[in-house]
């Protein structure tokens, strides 16, 4: 067909990429009028956009970047925001709250459904309430034809979603995924040897992590069941150990990672109600089990109202995220955090043992920041006015520009151990959970890499889950913003992974540490060790560029990215 031959309007409905090059002046005027009518209803368009007259475009909000198009017979409703160079091809459906990064291709007949409704038996389906968590798609993503992406999913940068896939879970960056439900097929970077890519030697590592993941999934139910005390109706970390609240939460996280469902000993609703019932309504904390199997007693509050109880403080993390995985949330605000004023918070931060026990100080910040996050989830306000500003202001001005962390290295017997471990806990609950960048990223990398070479904590037979996690997460987090010393981080991850994978014990999971190594719940396999090492394996695999072969991504306490926005979480 000659480029000088005028084209019928229907041609551009199906080949909109030709509009800028081949449309007549009359067709351009008609397109400008179509966009003007949408603009009058609040839409915005970058330059060189196209919206087919044959498309059903009825949005509540529409913002399109430059060089984007909506092709013929596409159906767009709800709230759509796109970057530049995005395409919605013929017969595609985009509904609900959907955000696209730059360079996203949505194939013909695909559906991005950023909303949902219930199907409980108490009313007809058409009368069920609507919910919307939204869909987020990163940059440089190709979504093939006949794909369905469900509400709540995040697709990372540089992904490819194979034709016909049904995407029900988040997709990590660089992943090629396919199937129903969609599963990772490979890392898009596989075979690259340039900086940031996967080296040929890592391809064998990719196969090893894939074999491990298949084995872990096959044995996950047995790992959880061996730690279920049927007589007491409680979970223990390992057979013979006492029942703990954390063990219940670890079982939920392991089941979510490997089974995609709650632990089989109870329904999801029963798990959630069990955990919710343990929360103390006066303080908002969750104490450890008492002698009768119910909630235990809490200490008397301090003068500022805070309750000093290490187990209850950690349960702000473990119970809160376990409930989130079950689609639930705390029954009450965490009052001890909500009641702290900015002045009380600053005084407490000043009094923490930063010079001698940086781990203890960082753990407290993790608890408070997570409590504020959970309170926001309940629409109860994150804390007293100005408290979060006071927290981050204090952290930003107290970070050490030479180490990138907080506090001091401590006695020579521990060197950087408490500094790095406390830094991870602090960063996890504050900067990472709220999606903020740490102030001295490169110095943090220098410190944790130096620590990772200490043979007291990082040599065969010496590693435990805490120590490896507290290096792996900062390295992973830094790698999201910078390639500073990325090759060294990748080498360290590639060295750690084979040793860790070999420690899996059939039907029992991972031990927290190794025989002869102190700390934590010990070397015998249990739920805490299994949950933590599964998260560590994902972090290390992602640093090494092979995480797509695991087909899981942590979503609980040890999730790598910010927590989901509380405003998008539907009520329990």
Tell me if residue 314 falls in helix, strand or coil: helix
Rg (CA), the chain: 26
**Active-site residue, 117 included:** yes
Q: Quote the tokens at residue 190.
A: 């596989």
Q: Is 545 left (phi over 0), alpha (psi -120 to 50) or beta?
A: left
Distance between CA atoms of residues 7 and 27, nearest Å: 10
Distance between CA atoms of residues 314 and 301, nearest Å: 17
Q: Phi first, then psi: give them for residue 27, nearest 5 degrees.
A: -65, -35
Tell me if residue 77 falls in helix, strand or coil: strand
Contact call for residues 138 and 156 (beta carbons, < 8 A): yes
Q: Phi first, then psi: give them for residue 356, nearest 5 degrees.
A: -115, -30
C-alpha of 539 from chain center: 11
Distance between CA atoms of residues 280 and 380, nearest Å: 17
| Annotated active-site residue in 109, 117, 315, 414 | 117
Question: HSE-up of 112 (CA within 13 Å, CB side)?
Answer: 35
Distance between CA atoms of residues 487 and 146, nearest Å: 38
Q: Quote the tokens at residue 47.
A: 């330059």
Tell me if residue 14 falls in helix, strand or coil: helix
DSSP string, 496-555: HHHHHHTT-BTTTB-BSS-TT--STT-SSB-HHHHHHHHHHHHHHHHHTT-GGGT-----
b/e string for 408-441 if b means 16 or more Cβ within 10 A? bbbeeebbbbbbbbbbbbbbbbbbbbbeeebbbb
Q: Quote the tokens at residue 219.
A: 């044995």
DSSP string, 133-162: --EEE-SSEEE-TT-EE-TT-EE-TT-EE-
Q: Is 129 left (phi over 0), alpha (psi -120 to 50) or beta?
A: beta
- Dihedral sign for Cα 324, 328, 334, 337, please: positive
Contact call for residues 472 and 543 (beta carbons, < 8 A): yes
Pairing of strands 175-178, 160-161: parallel
Residues with Cβ within 8 Å of 303's Cβ and at least 6 positions away in sequence, in order, are none
Q: Phi first, then psi: give them for residue 553, nearest 5 degrees.
A: -150, 125
Instruction: Indicate which residues carry an active-site annotation.
Output: 117
């Amino acid at each position: 067909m000659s480029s000088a031959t005028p084209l019928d309007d229907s041609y551009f409905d199906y080949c909109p990429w030709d509009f800028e090059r081949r449309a007549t002046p009359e067709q351009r005027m008609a397109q400008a009028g179509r966009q003007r009518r949408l603009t009058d209803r609040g839409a915005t368009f970058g330059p060189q956009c196209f919206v087919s007259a044959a498309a059903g475009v009825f949005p509540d909000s529409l913002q399109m970047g430059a060089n984007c198009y909506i092709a013929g017979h596409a159906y767009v409703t709800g709230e759509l925001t796109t970057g530049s160079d995005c395409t919605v091809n013929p017969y595609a459906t985009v509904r609900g709250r959907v955000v696209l990064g730059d360079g996203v291709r949505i194939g013909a007949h695909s559906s991005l459904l950023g909303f949902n409704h219930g199907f409980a038996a108490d009313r007809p389906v058409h009368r069920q309430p609507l919910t919307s968590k939204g869909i987020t798609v990163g940059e440089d993503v190709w979504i093939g034809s006949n794909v369905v992406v469900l509400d709540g999913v995040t697709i990372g940068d540089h992904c490819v979603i194979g034709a016909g896939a049904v995407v029900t879970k988040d997709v990590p960056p660089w992943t090629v995924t396919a199937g129903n439900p969609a599963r990772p097929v490979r890392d898009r970077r596989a075979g690259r040897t340039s900086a940031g890519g996967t080296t040929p030697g890592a391809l064998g590592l990719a196969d090893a992590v894939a074999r491990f993941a298949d084995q872990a999934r096959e044995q996950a139910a047995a790992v959880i069941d061996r730690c279920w005390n049927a007589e007491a109706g409680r979970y223990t970390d390992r057979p013979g150990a006492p029942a703990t609240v954390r063990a219940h939460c670890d079982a939920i996280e392991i089941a979510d990672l490997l089974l995609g469902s709650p632990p089989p000993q109870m329904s999801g609703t029963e798990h959630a109600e069990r955990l919710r019932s343990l929360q103390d309504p006066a303080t908002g904390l969750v104490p450890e089990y008492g002698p009768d199997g119910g909630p235990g007693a809490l200490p008397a509050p301090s003068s500022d109202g805070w309750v000093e109880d290490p187990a209850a403080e950690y349960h702000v993390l473990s119970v809160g995220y376990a409930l989130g995985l079950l689609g639930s949330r705390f029954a009450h605000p965490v009052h001890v955090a909500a009641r702290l004023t900015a002045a009380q918070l600053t005084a407490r931060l000043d009094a923490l043992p930063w010079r001698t026990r940086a781990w203890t100080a960082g753990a407290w910040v993790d608890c408070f920041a997570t409590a504020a996050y959970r309170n926001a989830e309940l629409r109860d306000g994150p804390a007293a006015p100005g408290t979060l500003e006071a927290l981050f202001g204090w952290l930003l001005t107290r970070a050490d520009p030479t180490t990138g962390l907080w506090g001091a290295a401590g006695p020579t017997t521990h060197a950087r151990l408490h500094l790095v471990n406390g830094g991870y806990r602090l960063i996890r609950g504050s900067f990472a959970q709220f999606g903020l960048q740490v102030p001295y990223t490169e110095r943090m990398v220098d410190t944790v890499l130096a620590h990772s070479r200490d043979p007291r904590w990082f040599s065969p037979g010496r590693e435990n889950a805490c120590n490896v996690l507290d290096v792996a997460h900062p390295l992973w987090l830094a790698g999201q913003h910078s390639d500073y010393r990325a090759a060294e981080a990748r080498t360290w991850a590639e060295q750690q992974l084979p040793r860790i994978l070999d420690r899996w014990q059939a039907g029992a999971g991972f031990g927290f540490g190794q025989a002869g190594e102190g700390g934590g719940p010990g070397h015998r396999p249990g739920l805490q060790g299994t949950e933590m090492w599964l998260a560590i394996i994902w972090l290390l695999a992602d640093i090494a560029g092979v995480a797509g072969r695991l087909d899981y991504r942590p979503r609980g306490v040890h999730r790598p990215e910010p927590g989901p926005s509380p405003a998008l979480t539907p009520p329990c």
